[in-house]
Each structure stands twice: as C-alpha cells, then as structure tokens.
Amino acid sequence: MEMAKTTTAPGRAAEQNKAGPGAPKMPIPLLVAGTSAMAGVFLISLFFPQNVKNIGSFGPGALVAAFVVGVAAIQYLETYSREKGRRGRDAGMGADAEVAVRDVLESLPEGYFVVHDFDSGKGMIGRILIGPKGIFTLETKSHTGEVTFDGNQLLRNGRPFGKDLIRRAWAQCFLVRGSLAEYGITTPLPEPVILFADAHVKVQGKARGVEIAGLRSLPEILDRLPNRLSIPEAGRIYNRILAASLL
C-alpha cells in the first residue's frame, strides 16, 4: 500500500485511499430471467424431441425422470437469476451509500483526516476518522427502514439485524485502539460509530456505548463534542495509522 499525501483544504477532510463513486445501480435484469427460462426449455428439449426414443426405451419411469430433471433445471435457473438480481440491487444501494459517505466526509471542516480500509492485521476497518473531536471508527450501512434500539440490540423495522452490529463496531474499534497503543497513543481513545445512509434512525443517544446515527448527522454529532486534539496532533495520529497500514 502506498502512502497517500497528507493535504487539507478548507471544508474538506484529507483522505487516504479515497473511495470513488462506486458501481452504478444494477436493476433486476429481466433479460436474464427470460434467458434462464429459455435455457430450461432447451434442456427439456434435449431430453424429449431428440432423445425421446432412447429415453422411452427405458420405460415410462425414464420419461418422468427426464421431465422432473428439466423442471428442476428451470427452477434452479430462475432462482439463480433472482439471486443475481438481488445482488445487483444490493450493489446499487452500496454504491449510493459510498457516494453519500464521500460527500459527507468532504463537507467536514479543515483538520479532519480519513483512512479507508485499514488492515489491522486481525481484521479490516472500513474507515477511521481523525480530527479535532477525536478518533472514530466509522461503519456505514445501506439498510433502509426504521432503526431502533431495544436496550440490547439494534432493530430494523422492529426485527433484529442478522448480525450484532454493535458488537462488530466495538470489535473494530478495539483493533484500532490496539494498533495505536503500539505507538504509545492511548488518548483520546477511538470511539465506534455506526452510520446509516438511507435508514430512519430513531436511536436516542448511544447504544451500548456506540453512536448510532444517520449518515448526514455526522457533522452535527462532531460539532457537539469538545475538542480533544489540535490539527497537528490529528495529522500525526493519521500518519501513525498510515505507517501501521504499511507493515
């Protein structure tokens, strides 16, 4: 990994490995679904018109088995096309989230530094934000719906997420704390933040010590915090993290 130049400009955060706009939206390809169905019909045709005599020589059971195999092939291809469509939608949502993250980070005032995709040696951290208000591990989610907290776990539209997002956020934060401690940097302690790009966040305060907020609320959250670092100090910590990423 090459070390990026550390530069700042008014109203923009300095970024390392700056994320691009991402892939464009990928709507469900109806052509794929149609092609899959045609492929399934083709598979059946291989069994029946061309080989019906050969299959029939084995008795009616062979014809039934051939038909079942053909139907199963169609169902498999339809399932495959739906899964590809779902992944396409997810990729589109992820791309939109990346653009939104970039815009928000670039709106931060001078003195903020961002490290993307930091490899701690024990796991990847999506983003680390360093600035006058402290050090933060940022995890951005592209989920939609309403996000709440029941006192133990985050809920999306009243149901738990598939993974414990809070636990994951703390795990990433501890990895960064450990990496900085190796350089003698123990204050301020990095803090975990989970940002939702498209969801309606109704969490009041922190959830198990993790800040949960809408992505566009990040500047407001930072503005409420007291200053903990000078800009030169933030820059030195940023360079330490970059140095760690090269090891």
Residue 229 tokens read as 């670092």
Task: Report the pLDDT value the prediction gives residue 78, as an integer from 0 to 100.
Answer: 56
Cα gap 120→245, rounded to integer Å: 7
Please tell me whether residues 115 and 214 are part of one structural domain: yes
Per the CB < 8 A criterion, the answer to whether 181 and 190 are in contact is no
Please tell me whether residues 123 and 240 are part of one structural domain: yes
- 87 inside domain: yes
Radius of gyration of the chain (CA): 25
DSSP state of 230: -
Please tell me whether residues 188 and 116 are part of one structural domain: yes
Split into its structural domains, the chain has a count of 2
Please tell me whether residues 58 and 129 are part of one structural domain: no
pTM equals 0.65
**What's the pLDDT tens digit per position in 37-67?**
455 545 555 555 555 556 556 566 655 565 5
Please tell me whether residues 73 and 133 are part of one structural domain: no
Please tell me whether residues 170 and 224 are part of one structural domain: yes
Please tell me whether residues 65 and 141 are part of one structural domain: no
- 232 inside domain: yes
Task: Report the pLDDT value the prediction gives residue 119, as an integer from 0 to 100.
Answer: 87
Please tell me whether residues 71 and 132 are part of one structural domain: no
* Full 3-state SS string of 17-57: CCCCCCCCCCCCCHHHHHHHHHHHHHHHHHHCCCCHHHHHC
The amino acid sitting at 36 is: S
- 78 inside domain: yes
**Cα separations (Å) of 198 from 25, 98, 163, 194, 221?**
15, 11, 18, 13, 17
Please tell me whether residues 38 and 148 are part of one structural domain: no
Cα gap 208→152, rounded to integer Å: 7
Please tell me whether residues 47 and 144 are part of one structural domain: no
- 18 inside domain: no
Mean pLDDT, contiguous 10-residue spans, the chain (247 residues): 37 51 41 51 52 58 56 57 46 63 91 91 90 96 95 96 95 94 93 96 94 95 96 95 79
The amino acid sitting at 83 is: E
Q: Which domain holds residue 49?
A: 30-92
- 178 inside domain: yes
- 208 inside domain: yes
- 25 inside domain: no
**What's the pLDDT tens digit per position in 56-103?**
565 666 555 655 655 565 665 555 445 444 444 444 445 676 788 889
Which burial class, exposed, middle or buried, applies to 193 when counting CB atoms under 10 A from its CB (0-12, 13-18, 19+)? buried
- 137 inside domain: yes
Please tell me whether residues 165 and 76 are part of one structural domain: no
Please tell me whether residues 212 and 118 are part of one structural domain: yes
